[in-house]
Amino acid sequence: MTERRGSTGAGDPEPGPHLHDELLGELLDGDLDPDARLQAEDHLAECPQCQRAYSELVDLGHQARALPQEIQPTRDLWPGIQAEVRRRRPWVTWGYGLAAAGIAALILGTVFFSPWGHEMAEMESPPEDPASTTFVAQVREVEEAYEPTIQELRLLVEDQELAPETREVLEESLAVIEEAIREAAAALEEDPGSPQALHGLRRMYDAKVEVLRLVAGRSSSI
Amino acid sequence: MTREVGSHTEDVRFAGSEPSPSTEPTSLQRARETRRWVERAQAGDVRAFEYLYRDHVGRVYALALRMTADAREAEEATQDVWVRVWERLETFRADSSFSTWLHRLAVNRILDRMRSRKRREGRSASLDDPGVNRWGTEPSKTEERMELERAIAALPEGARTVFVLHEVEGLKCREVAEATGTAVGTVKAQLHRARKLLRGMLTP
C-alpha cells in the first residue's frame, strides 16, 4: 500500500514509506476500509510529500467540478434536429388537436351516414319505446345499454401501452363525442317523445364505442 | 422572445395558455415549467420540444465535447442525442427529473457513438489527428480552466471518459462501470491513470 515517493533532499527527515497514488485516490473517493483509512490518515498527518500529493488530487477534483456545466455549441444545431424529427414523425406537425377532431369527425360521420352504422345500432341498441318513458328514463336506458361495453373497452384501452400522443388524440376525440352526447341529450330533453332525438343520442354512444374499439384494436372497420 | 433559427431570425411567441420561460424562476418553478414543456412535447408539439432543446442543449454539448474531445463530433453527437430524446420521450415518466433522464440518455448515446466509431476506425480516435478541433473557439474562459479542459481532452479515451463521468459529471464508479459496460475495478484503474496523467500535465 505504500511506496517511496523519491528523494526528499538531504535536509528532510527520514522518508517513510509513502502512500502510493492509487491509494490516495481511494482515500479521496472514500473507498478504503476503516483500518486502511485510519492508517493512511495517520501517515498523511506526518508526511508533507503525501500531503502535497493528496492536496493536488483534491484540487484536481475541485477544478473538475468547477468546470462549467453548460457549453453552447458554436452553431445552432436545431435546424438539423428539427428536420430529422419531422422526417421521422411527420404527422406530429398536423397537431394533435386537429388529429383528434379529425378522428371524431370521421367516426361521427361514419356512424351517421354509413349503412354499417345503422346496422350496428340495430344490433346493439335496445328497442325504442319513447312514448312510454320520460326523458330521464330514456337517457338512463341508453346509458345502461352502452356503459358496460364502454367500460369494458376502457379497460382494454388502459391495458394498452399507448404513445402519449395517441392517448391525447383519444381523449380529445372522446371529448368531442361527449359534447355531441350532451347536445343529443339536450335535444331529447326538449322533445322527449321524439324517436329522432333518441336515435341521435344512441348514434353518439355508437360513436364513443367505435372510437374506443378503434384504439383497443377491436375494430377493423375504420 | 426572438431567437435565431437556422439562417433567419424567427419571432417565436407562445400563446398565453402555454408555458413561457420566466426571467428568474426558482428551481421548483423551473421544474414545473420543464414538466409542462415535456408533456406538450410528448403530445407531439415540436415547438415545446425546441424549447426543451434550447434550455438543455448546453448541458448535453458540454458533456459530448468533454467526452469526445472533438468539437465536430460533439455537435453530431448532440444532434443525435436530441433526435433520440424525441424518439424516447414517450418513455419518460414525470416522477423523475427530466434533466436526470436526459443526462443518462446522453451519456449512453455518446458512449454508443464512441464505441461505434472505435469499431469503425479500428482504433481509438486520436486527439492528434490533423483537423480535429478540440474545443472550437470559446472566448472568455480563464486560462486555468482552459488548461484543465485541454489536459482532459489530451487524455486517452478510456481515461478521459471515466474522468469526465466521475469527476466532472459526478457519477459514482459503479454508475460509470454500468454506463461503460466495464468492471468497477477497470473504472478505478482508468480513474487513477487519468488523475496521474492530469497531474503530470498540470503540474509546472
In-domain check, residue B72: yes
In-domain check, residue B6: no
Is the domain of B35 the same as that of B85? Answer: yes
Q: How many structural domains are present in chain B? A: 2
What is the pLDDT at residue B3? 37
pLDDT in tens, A18-67: 888 888 999 998 889 999 999 999 999 999 999 999 999 999 999 999 99
Q: How confident is the model at residue B7 (pLDDT cuts 50, 70, 90)?
A: very low
Q: How confident is the model at residue A191 (pLDDT cuts 50, 70, 90)?
A: confident
User: Which cell goes with A102?
Assistant: 379529425
Is the domain of B118 the same as that of B157? Answer: no
Is the domain of B56 the same as that of B106? Answer: yes
State the nearest Cα–Cα gap between A50 and chain B, in angstroms: 14
- Find the domain containing B101 and state its range: 27-124
In-domain check, residue A32: yes
Domain with residue B165: its CATH number is 1.10.10.10
Look at A88 and B191 and tell me if their CB atoms are within 8 Å: no
Is the domain of A123 the same as that of A165? Answer: yes
Asked if the model's pLDDT at residue A141 lies above 60, the reply is yes
Instruction: Return d(Cα A63, Cα A56) in angstroms, integer.
Output: 10
Is the domain of A108 the same as that of A183? Answer: yes
Is the domain of B156 the same as that of B72? Answer: no
Task: Tell me which of B46, B60, B66 to substitute to probe the interface with A (most A C-beta atoms closer than 10 Å).
Answer: B46
- Of A44-58, A115-129, B91-105, minimum mean pLDDT range: A115-129
Is the domain of A60 the same as that of A97? Answer: no
In-domain check, residue A136: yes
- Find the domain containing A32 and state its range: 16-66
Annotate B105-142 with DSSP letters as a single string.
HHHHHHHHHHHHHHHHHTSPPPTT-TT--SS----S--
User: Which cell goes with B143?
Assistant: 486560462
In-domain check, residue B53: yes
Instruction: Return d(Cα B163, Cα B181) in angstroms, integer.
Output: 15
Q: How many structural domains are present in chain A? A: 2
Write the residue in A26, A29, A93 that is nearest to B46 by C-beta. Answer: A93
Q: Within 13 Å, how many C-alpha atoms sit on residue A198's CB side?
A: 23
State the nearest Cα–Cα gap between A76 and chain B, in angstroms: 7
Look at B45 and A25 and tell me if their CB atoms are within 8 Å: no
Is the domain of A47 the same as that of A100? Answer: no
Q: What are phi and psi of B99, to 5 degrees?
A: -65, -35
Among A10-19, A158-167, B72-81, top mean pLDDT goes to B72-81
In-domain check, residue A6: no
Instruction: Return d(Cα A85, Cα A91) in angstroms, integer.
Output: 10
What is the pLDDT at residue B1? 37
Average pLDDT over residues A68-86: 92
Direct distance between the N- and C-terminal alpha carbons of chain A, in angstroms, rounded to an integer? 74
What is the pLDDT at residue A101? 53
Of B97, B124, B151, the last residue of a domain is B124
In chain A, which residue's Cα lies nearest the Cα of B3? A76
Domain with residue B111: its CATH number is 1.10.1740.10
In-domain check, residue B110: yes
More confident residue, B161 or B117: B161
Q: Within 13 Å, how many C-alpha atoms sit on residue A151's CB side?
A: 6
In-domain check, residue B134: no
Q: What is the mean pLDDT of chain B?
A: 80
In-domain check, residue B171: yes
